[in-house]
Every structure is written in C-alpha cells, then in structure tokens.
C-alpha cells in the first residue's frame, strides 16, 4: 500500500508526531521518580572538593583551559614506605612506624644484656676467670647520641607522614573514580556519566528540596593502562551541547527563592533511566 501525503498535510502530521513523542516522554516521567538532589545519584564528585596535589589536574582550576583539554586527569599515586629505622635505634623506638596518625615515640630507657667477668675460686690452683651475662638498665641520658639520631630520623618520618596523608586522600578519590570507570564500561546500559554546571539550590514550601545542576553534558572516563592515569573527557565527535534539566524538576506553581551556585562544574554518575527525567 502506498500512501500519498499532500504537502498541505505535513504541518498536521508534524504536530501529531510532536504530540506523540511529548506524550511518551511525559509517560516515562511518570514511571521514573525524578532525582531532585545530587546525593540521590549513584555517585557524585564535586570538583571543588578535589585536593591540591601534583597528581590531580582539573580544568576548573585553569584560567583559560583549552577546548580539547581533559576535564579531569588523575595520576596513580603509589604508596611509599616509611623511612627505615637505623639499626642502633631499633630497640629505642616504640610503636608502629607505618601509621601516619600515630607518631613513633622514644623509650626513656632500655635493658641490655652485657657480659660481666667473674672469678671462679676453689681448688689448689690459681683462680680462674669467666663471664656471665647480666641484664642492665641503660638510661637515655647515658647515650645522648642516640637521642640526636632519633630526632633526625623523626624529622624524615614526619615528612613522610605529611606526604602520605596527602597521597592517601588522592588514592581514595582515584579508587572511587576507577570503580565508576568500571561500572560505566561494564554496565554502560545502566549508567550515564554527566558533567553538571550551575548548581541550583531551591527549597519550596511544603515540597522536596532541589539541589541539581541546571545543565549537564555527557562525559567518559579513559584509563591509560601503562601509566594508570584516569582521564575524564567529553566524548569524541562534535562538541556536546549542554542539556537543560531544570524544567523536569521545577514543576511547582508555588513561588520560592532559588539560588544558583557560581562554583566549578561537577560531574556525577547516574542511572541511565534518569536521562528520561
């Protein structure tokens, strides 16, 4: 069967098609509960909370970032061992040396096994000499050079602890970012990664609070398997157009005060069904 459509009927057909897709979209919105606050996403990362670190490269900190530069790049930070305790200090240092939140301490005294000569008497011959081991207490004041050596080692330990605390914060974010990367690649049909710009804060009377970004754009995470660097970028192809997400959230007629945060952009991973809202 071949249907002939008159040119005069095209506006009516277009209107019917628009109405159909509008109806289907509204129906989908009724089936999916809209996400009104960022904390309801599967995961969310606020770029403003990223630590200042050489392994963290974020475009929002650049004055004039290039259009093709990554939105975020995180290098893999290995865990460093604490400085080794010198052999002559081992018996003096107490406590673990690999706990950054617990500084090692120094003993006031130790006990040492020292040989003590003794004279063995008896018999008709000349007395004989021998040695026995005696446990003796050694005060720190007797060996001041040990205290000086501990002070030098402790300075190195504190430098290591400060760096390790900064590195540990980056490793936690890297671990979270890597988990999101795996989830978005292994379950791409379930998750969507987006960049959010302009956070809208709105609390209408007698309604749920709104804490969502007014515009989003799709992003992707890449892993450099040689260097271990995770990079957040816009997908290949034409520049992504920001998608407004205000109207599905702001559907109340009651007026209320709303503010939009001028802070840096943020990104989050959401269920792909959220894109229908």
pTM value? 0.67
What's the pLDDT at 56? 92
For residues 128 and 119, the answer to whether their CB atoms sit within 8 Å is yes
Give domain limits for the chain: 32-77+170-276, 87-163
SS (H, E, C) 184-237: HHHCCCCEEEEEEEEEEEECCCCCCCEEEEEEEEECEEEECCCCCCEEEECCCC
Cβ-proximal residues to 69 (8 Å cutoff; 6+ apart), any chain: 59, 62
What's the pLDDT at 171? 95
Tokens of 261: 């945060």
What's the pLDDT at 262? 47
Strand segments, DSSP code E, in the chain are: 43-45, 56-58, 72-74, 93-94, 105-106, 109-120, 128-139, 191-202, 210-218, 220-223, 230-233, 243-244, 258-261, 266-271
The upper half-sphere exposure of residue 21, i.e. CA atoms within 13 Å in the direction of its Cβ, equals: 6
pLDDT, one tens digit for every residue, the chain (277 residues): 445 545 556 777 778 888 888 888 777 767 777 778 888 888 888 888 889 999 999 888 877 777 778 889 999 999 999 999 998 888 888 888 999 999 998 887 767 766 666 666 555 555 556 566 767 777 767 777 888 888 899 999 999 999 999 999 999 999 999 988 888 888 777 778 888 888 888 888 877 888 888 888 888 899 999 999 999 988 865 554 555 443 333 333 333 444 445 455 555 555 443 433 3
What's the pLDDT at 248? 34
What's the pLDDT at 119? 63
């Amino acid at each position: 069967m071949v249907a002939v459509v008159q040119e005069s009927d095209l506006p009516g057909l277009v209107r019917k098609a628009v109405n159909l897709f509008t109806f289907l979209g509204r129906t989908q919105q009724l089936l999916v509960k809209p996400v009104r606050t960022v904390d309801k996403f599967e995961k969310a990362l606020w770029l403003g909370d990223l630590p200042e670190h050489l392994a963290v490269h974020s475009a929002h900190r650049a004055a004039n970032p290039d259009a093709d530069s990554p939105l975020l790049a995180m290098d893999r930070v290995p865990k460093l061992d604490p400085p080794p305790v010198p052999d002559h200090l081992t018996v003096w240092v107490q406590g673990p040396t690999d706990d950054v939140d617990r500084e090692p301490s120094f003993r006031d005294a130790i006990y040492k096994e020292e040989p003590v000569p003794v004279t063995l008497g008896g018999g008709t011959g000349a007395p004989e000499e021998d040695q026995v081991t005696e446990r003796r207490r050694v005060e720190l004041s007797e060996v001041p050079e040990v205290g000086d050596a501990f002070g030098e080692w402790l300075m190195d330990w504190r430098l290591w602890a400060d760096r390790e605390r900064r590195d540990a914060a980056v490793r936690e974010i890297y671990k979270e970012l890597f988990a999101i990367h795996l989830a978005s690649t292994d379950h791409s049909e379930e998750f969507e990664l987006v960049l959010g710009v302009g956070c809208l804060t709105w609390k209408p009377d007698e309604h749920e609070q709104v804490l969502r970004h007014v515009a989003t754009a799709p992003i992707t995470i890449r892993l450099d398997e040689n260097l271990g660097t995770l990079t957040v970028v816009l997908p290949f192809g034409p520049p992504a157009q920001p998608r407004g997400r205000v109207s599905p959230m702001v559907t109340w007629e009651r007026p209320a005060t709303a503010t939009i945060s001028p802070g840096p952009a943020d990104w989050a991973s959401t269920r792909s069904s959220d894109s229908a809202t």
